[in-house]
Amino acid sequence: MHRAMAGDWTRRQFVAGLAASGVVAGGGVRALAQSTLTGEAAIRELMEGNERFMAGKITSFPEDLKILKEKTVLKQEPFAAVLACADSRVPVEILFDQSIGHVFVSRVAGNVVTPEIMASLEYAVAALGVKALLVIGHTNCGAISAAVAAKEVPGQISVLYQHLMPGIRGAKGDVPLAVKMNAAYQAQVWQAQTAEFFGQLGKAAQFTNQAVDLAQRSKLKEAAAQVQLQQAMRNAAFRDCGQVRELTAKGLEVSRDLSSLNQAAHAFAACGETSQTLSLIDDLQKGFPTDTLLNTVSIPLMRAQLELNRGNAAQAVQLLEPARKYEVYGDFWPQYLRGQAYLKQRNGAQAAVEFQTILDHRGWYPTSPLYPLAHLGLARAAALTGDSGKKRKFYQDFLAIWKDADPTPILIEARREYEKLK
Ligand SMILES: [Zn+2]
C-alpha cells in the first residue's frame, strides 16, 4: 500500500519539483536565535538531506530517537524555513532528512503564501534567524489540479484559488507546469513583499524582474503583467513614481480584468496621475457595477487619494466613510489615508487613532508596507499633540524597521525630522 503510493513519487519528479522552488536568504534581520550557516550552506544542507532520502540512507531517525531518549531540552535553532503542501506525501523533515529542531515548516494546500503563512515565515526569519526559505511544490498536487480545472469544490476550499490563480494562470491546463509556476510565484511573492516591508524597493524590483523574466520565458504574459502591476502599486505606496507609468502600461496591455485595473488605478492615484486615475475608475464602474468591495472601498479610496493630493483633507475623510463597513478588506489604506488627511488638518489626536488601528490589527495584513509607515504617522501625530516622548519613540521604531531601507523620499524626510529632535 505504502509502496504503491511512493511509486508515483519518482526521483525525477521530485527533483523537478525542487528545481522550480524559490530560495530566499533571510534579509539582514537581527534574530534572537542564530544558525551560523550562510544562506547557500542552508540550502546545500537541505539538498544533501534530500540526496540521502533518495538513496534510502536517512540519518535523521536515529538522531530523533537519541533526542527522545535523552529527553533533551531543545533550543529551537532552525537553519531554514520550508513552505510545502499539506499533502500527506510531502513530509518535509523526512524528505530533507532533518531531525527535530532544524527546519521551520509551514504546510498548506497548494503551498500558497497567505497572510497567515506570511506571518509564520516572517517569524522564522525575524525571530528564529533562518538563513533560507524554500518553497516546494509536488507532483500530483490536488489543490493545483482543482484550481487548474476551476472545479466547484465544497465548503471553503475555493478560498485557496485566489492565491493560486496568479501563479498558474498561464499554465493552460498543464498541471505539472502549474505546480512549478506556482512554487516560483509564491517564492517571488514572499521575497518581494518582505523587501517591501523593510523599505527595500530596489530589492523588491529585482525579485519582480526575476519573476517577470521567468513568466515571459514560459510565455506566461498574464502572470508577468500581474507581477508588474504589483510592483507599480509597491512603488506608488512609497511615492517612488518614476516607473509607475511604464509598469502600469505593460500590465494593462496584457490584462484589464478587475484586479489589474484596480491596482493600476490605485498606483496612478497615489502618484497624482489624476486623469489616468479617473479614466480607469470609469472603466471599473462600467465593467463591474455590482462589485461591493470595488464600489464601497476601492473607488472611494482612489477618489479620496485624489482629493488629498489637491489638499482637500475634509473631502477625503468624507469620501472614505462608506469604506468603514469593510475596513478589514482595505489592506490598511482607508486608515492610512484618513490618518494622512487628519495630519494635513493638524488634528494629531484623530490621526493617531487611525495609525494606531493599523498597529493594533497587524494580522489583517502582516507584511503591509503601511505597517512600518504607520509608525511614522504616529510620530507626526505626536508632534502635533506635543507628546515629545511618543514622538521620539515612534520615529525610532520606524527607523529601526527601515534601517536597511533604500533612500526613498519618505525615508529621507523621516530622517530629517528625526535629526531635528536631537
Ligand atoms: Zn498538494
Distance 331 CA to ligand 1 centre (A): 28
Q: Evaluate whether 302 touches 265 at the Cβ level (below 8 Å).
A: yes
Distance 133 CA to ligand 1 centre (A): 18
Distance 143 CA to ligand 1 centre (A): 5
Distance 246 CA to ligand 1 centre (A): 36
Domain interval for residue 111: 1-197
Give the largest CA-CA distance in the chain.
Answer: 71
Distance 351 CA to ligand 1 centre (A): 45
Task: Enumerate residues 6+ apart whose C-beta is below 8 A from 263.
Answer: 229, 230, 232, 233, 251
Please tell me whether residue 390 adopts helix, strand or coil conformation: helix
Distance 47 CA to ligand 1 centre (A): 20
Which residue numbers in the chain have pLDDT < 50? 1-33
At residue 337's C-alpha, the angle toward residues 333 and 338, to 5°, is 115
Q: Please name the helix (run of DSSP H) or strand (run of DSSP E) that holds residue 351, with its range, or none.
A: helix 348-360
Q: Evaluate whether 164 touches 141 at the Cβ level (below 8 Å).
A: no
Distance 101 CA to ligand 1 centre (A): 24
Distance 55 CA to ligand 1 centre (A): 23
Distance 5 CA to ligand 1 centre (A): 14
Distance 366 CA to ligand 1 centre (A): 25
Distance 52 CA to ligand 1 centre (A): 23
Distance 336 CA to ligand 1 centre (A): 37
Assess if residue 219 is contained within a domain. Answer: no
Assess if residue 89 is contained within a domain. Answer: yes
Distance 249 CA to ligand 1 centre (A): 35
Nearest to 395 by CA among 407, 379, 371: 379
Q: Evaluate whether 274 touches 309 at the Cβ level (below 8 Å).
A: yes
**For residues 81 and 135, what is the distance between their CA atoms, to the nearest angstrom?**
9
pLDDT at residue 98 in the model: 94
Show the DSSP H helices in 88-174 as ranges: 92-95, 115-126, 142-149, 161-168
Q: Please name the helix (run of DSSP H) or strand (run of DSSP E) that holds residue 391, with its range, or none.
A: helix 388-401
Assess if residue 215 is contained within a domain. Answer: no
pLDDT at residue 73 in the model: 55
pLDDT at residue 167 in the model: 75
Distance 88 CA to ligand 1 centre (A): 9
Distance 91 CA to ligand 1 centre (A): 12
Distance 169 CA to ligand 1 centre (A): 17
pLDDT at residue 281 in the model: 97
Distance 16 CA to ligand 1 centre (A): 15
Q: What is the pLDDT of residues 177-229, one digit of tens each?
A: 889 888 888 888 788 888 888 999 899 888 888 778 766 766 667 777 877 88
Distance 48 CA to ligand 1 centre (A): 23
pLDDT at residue 9 in the model: 34
Assess if residue 36 is contained within a domain. Answer: yes
Cell numbers that stand for 278 in this block: 479617473
Assess if residue 78 is contained within a domain. Answer: yes
Assess if residue 167 is contained within a domain. Answer: yes
Distance 137 CA to ligand 1 centre (A): 7
Distance 108 CA to ligand 1 centre (A): 8
Bridge partners for 80 per DSSP: 103, 132
Distance 191 CA to ligand 1 centre (A): 22
Nearest to 96 by CA among 210, 15, 194: 15
Distance 214 CA to ligand 1 centre (A): 22
Distance 274 CA to ligand 1 centre (A): 44
Distance 86 CA to ligand 1 centre (A): 6
- Total domain count, the chain: 1
Whole-prediction pTM: 0.71
**For residues 149 and 339, what is the distance between their CA atoms, to the nearest angstrom?**
43
Distance 189 CA to ligand 1 centre (A): 19
Burial of residue 316, with CB atoms counted within 10 A of its CB: 0-12 exposed, 13-18 middle, 19 or more buried: buried
Distance 142 CA to ligand 1 centre (A): 5
Assess if residue 148 is contained within a domain. Answer: yes
pLDDT at residue 24 in the model: 39
Distance 300 CA to ligand 1 centre (A): 39
The CATH number of residue 67's host domain is 3.40.1050.10
Assess if residue 276 is contained within a domain. Answer: no
Distance 102 CA to ligand 1 centre (A): 23
DSSP of 318-345, one letter per residue?
HHTGGGGGGGGGGTTHHHHHHHHHHHHT
Distance 149 CA to ligand 1 centre (A): 14
